[in-house]
Amino acid sequence: MHTVSGGEVAGILVAVFWAILVSFLAVALARLAQTLKATTKLVADVTDQAVPLLADASSAVRSAQTQIDRVDAIASDVQEVTSNASALSTTVASTFGGPLVKVAAFGYGVRRALGGRKQEDVPAKSPRRTVIVGRTVPTARRKRK
């Protein structure tokens, strides 16, 4: 029979411990490799989908810029039309405003003149009434003693 010494037992324990440790590390590395493969595939899929999306976004931005340029052109045209309309209204007001005011004043004067003659033909207004303690008494009917 062969007896096993303490050093041999310690060597066997260290060898078993290293075998278990290497097995756990091999499993961990295998899982890490699977995770890296999945991550690589995910990044490739995202890249495949992102490139067309970026192209669409770039196209949308170009289209928006074109529309903004058109709106800017329309706004400048509207500003020009507005300034032209303002100039036209100023011209019309200065051309016709003075004579129209004179015609209106003349018409008012004519109405006043004709209105004054009509009032002479109309009989005088009825006399005023006087209020005495809650009663209304015409001034013409009041008798004074």
Residue 113 is encoded by which pair of tokens?
A: 């003149």
Count of the separate structural domains present in the chain: 1
Task: With respect to residue 99, please indicate whether it lies within any of the assigned structural domains.
Answer: yes
Task: With respect to residue 91, please indicate whether it lies within any of the assigned structural domains.
Answer: yes
Residue 103's CB is within 10 A of a number of other CB atoms, namely 11
CB 105 within 8 A of CB 96: no
Task: With respect to residue 116, please indicate whether it lies within any of the assigned structural domains.
Answer: no
Alpha-carbon distance of 44 to 50, in angstroms, equals 10
Task: With respect to residue 123, please indicate whether it lies within any of the assigned structural domains.
Answer: no
CB 141 within 8 A of CB 126: no
For the chain, residues with pLDDT lower than 70 are 116-145
Task: With respect to residue 28, please indicate whether it lies within any of the assigned structural domains.
Answer: yes
Task: With respect to residue 35, please indicate whether it lies within any of the assigned structural domains.
Answer: yes
Would you state the pLDDT for residue 134? 58
Would you state the pLDDT for residue 137? 58
Burial of 129 (0-12, 13-18, 19+ CB in 10 A): middle
Instruction: Kindly report the pTM of this predicted structure.
Output: 0.40
Reported as a single tens digit per residue, the pLDDT across 85-122 is 999 888 888 887 788 788 888 888 888 888 865 555 55
- Which structural domain, as residue segments, surrounds residue 92? 12-111
Vertex 104 angle, CA 101 and 110, to 5°: 140
